[in-house]
Structure 1
Amino acid sequence: MQSSLFPTQSNNLLPFQGEMLFFPEFFPKPKADQYLSQLIDSLEWRQEPIWMFGKQVMQPRMTALYGDPKMPYGYSGIRMTPLSWTSELREILEEVQGKAETVFTHVLCNYYRDGKDSMGWHRDNEKVLGENPTIASVTFGAERIFQTRPYAGKKPKIDIQLTHGSLLLMRGESQQFWEHQLPKTKSCLQGRINLTFRRLV
C-alpha cells in the first residue's frame, strides 16, 4: 500500500492500535511566527552525540531539554538534565496541556536547520514515559513530512505534512505498536522547530 497524506484532518489517523490526532492550525500564524523567532534565539541548543549501530555519531539536528530539573531524561545513550522552563515554553505548554488533557513534565526541543537534518525510525517508549504515554508534538517553521508505520509489519506507511503552528497528539497504544521518523528532504531549505511534550512518571 502506498503512503497517504493527511494535511488537514483532526480525527484519528491510525487505522488500528493507537491514536494520532492532527490539528494543522493549533497556533494561528502570527503567534506561530512569534514563537519560531523567539525559540530559535532563546533556547540553549546543542548537538549531542548518540549511539547508532555500535558507533557514536552526532545527531543530525540541534536539541534542548526543558522541564523538571529533578527528573533527567535519556534516549539513545544520551542523558539530559532539563533546563528551567522559559516564559515562551510555559505559554505553549499551557495551551497544549489543555488540548491533550495531560499534565506534561518535560519538553524535548528539536531544531532542524534545513532538510538535511532529520530523525530516524523510533518509538517514544522509554520506561520513564509509562506504558501508553501521550506525546504532544508542536511544529513551528518549515513544513516537513512526518512518517509513521506499524513497528511489526512496517506497512502501511502514513505520511503527515506537519504545518507551521500545528499540533500532533500521539496517545493510547501508538508508541507500542507504531514507529515514526522525520526523513531528510532536498526540497526544504528553511528551519523547523519541533517541541515534543511528554510526562515522566
Structure 2
Amino acid sequence: MQLPFFDEPSGHVIPLQDGELLYYPHFFNAEVADSYFRLLMEKVDWKQEGMMMYGKPVLFPRLMAWYGDKGSSYAFSGKRYEPAEWIAELSAINRHVSSVAGVVFNSVLLNRYRNGNDSMGWHADDEPELGRNPVIASVNFGATRRFMFRHQQAGLKYELNLAHGSLLIMKGSLQHYWQHQVPKTAKPLAERINLTFRVIKPVV
C-alpha cells in the first residue's frame, strides 16, 4: 500500500492532574481512515484471547492482535504475547504516529470491537515492560466509542468520544494514577478498531 497522506495534525492538550492527553480528532482524513479500517479488518490475524478466572477460561469481549519488533513480547492478564511481524499498513501508521508523538514505538496492541457488547474493562497500562511514564498512542478507526478515565486516588473522572481517524496520546504520569475503559453500550454500533502503540522495554 502506498504511504498515505494525513490531514495537518490539529490537536489540543487536555491537562489532567497527574497526567496529560493530546487529542487529534482528525489525524487521518476520512478517505485514509476508511481505507485503513477496511485493510486492517482483512489483513490482521484477529483472535479472541482469554484468561483464567476462578479456575475457568473466560474469553475477552473483543478480538485482539499483537504486532511488533522481535523481542517486544508483552504480558498482561496472566499471559505473555509474542508479537507477529509488522504488516505494511501497521508500519505506515506507526511512522506517522511516532513522528507526532516524538517516540519510536516498537509494538502495537490491536483491539476489534464488533458491536456495543464488546468492551474493555477498567485498567491502566502500567506493566513493567512499559517503563516509567510511558507514552502510548491510541489510533481509532470505525465507530465512535466512549473512552472513560478515573483517577485511582483523587476520585476525578474524565471521558471523551474517540472518533474515526483520531489519535489520542497518553503521556506523563497518567498510567500510574489513572485507569481507563471502553464501556459496553446497548446502542447499536458498527465495528471499531483501536490500535495502541507502545514502547516495550527489557525488564531487568
TM-score normalized with structure 1 length? 0.91
- Secondary structure class of the residue paired with 1:12: strand
Q: 1:24-103, aligned counterparts within 5 Å?
A: 24-52=25-53, 55-103=56-104
Instruction: Give the counterpart letter for 1:187 in structure 2.
Output: K
Question: What is the aligned partner in structure 2 of residue 144 from structure 1?
Answer: 145
Unaligned runs of 5+ in 1: 1-8
Question: What is the aligned partner in structure 2 of residue 6 from structure 1?
Answer: none
Question: What is the aligned partner in structure 1 of residue 178 from structure 2?
Answer: 178
Give, in angstroms, the shift of residue 14 of structure 1.
Answer: 3.8
Distance 1:34 1:146 in 2: 23
Question: What is the aligned partner in structure 2 of residue 196 from structure 1?
Answer: 196
Question: What is the aligned partner in structure 1 of residue 163 from structure 2?
Answer: 163
Q: Do the aligned residues in 2 keep the contact of 1:142 with 1:188 (CA within 8 Å)?
A: no
State how many pairs are aligned.
Answer: 192
Instruction: Give the counterpart letter for 2:163 in structure 1.
Output: T
Distance 2:77 2:90 in 1: 24
Q: Do the aligned residues in 1 keep the contact of 2:73 with 2:200 (CA within 8 Å)?
A: no
Q: 1:122-133, aligned counterparts within 5 Å?
A: 122-133=123-134
CA displacement, residues 3-34 of structure 1 (integer Å, 9 cap, x when unaligned)? xxxxxx93332431111111100000000000
- Secondary structure class of the residue paired with 2:13: coil
Distance 1:81 1:60 in 2: 21
Distance 1:151 1:53 in 2: 25
Instruction: Give the counterpart letter for 1:181 in structure 2.
Output: Q
Instruction: Give the counterpart letter for 2:195 in structure 1.
Output: L
CA displacement, residues 134-189 of structure 1 (integer Å, 9 cap, x when unaligned)? 00000000000000010124x32211100000000000000001110000011142
Unaligned runs of 5+ in 2: 1-9
Q: Do the aligned residues in 2 keep the contact of 1:48 with 1:58 (CA within 8 Å)?
A: yes
Q: CA RMSD in A?
A: 1.5
2:117 is equivalent to residue 116 of structure 1: yes
Instruction: Give the counterpart letter for 2:45 in structure 1.
Output: E
CA displacement, residues 22-56 of structure 1 (integer Å, 9 cap, x when unaligned)? 11000000000000000001000000112457753
Distance 2:54 2:97 in 1: 35
Higher mean displacement: 50-59 or 38-47: 50-59
Instruction: Give the counterpart letter for 1:190 in structure 2.
Output: A
Distance 1:152 1:11 in 2: 26
Give, in angstroms, the shift of residue 103 of structure 1.
Answer: 0.8
TM-score normalized with structure 2 length? 0.90
Q: Which has the higher contact order (CA 8 A, sep 6+)?
A: 1
- Secondary structure class of the residue paired with 1:31: helix
Higher mean displacement: 168-177 or 54-63: 54-63
Distance 1:85 1:114 in 2: 26
Distance 1:179 1:14, change over 3 A: farther
Question: What is the aligned partner in structure 1 of residue 23 from structure 2?
Answer: 22
Distance 1:123 1:35, change over 3 A: same
CA displacement, residues 71-101 of structure 1 (integer Å, 9 cap, x when unaligned)? 2111001211100100000110000000100
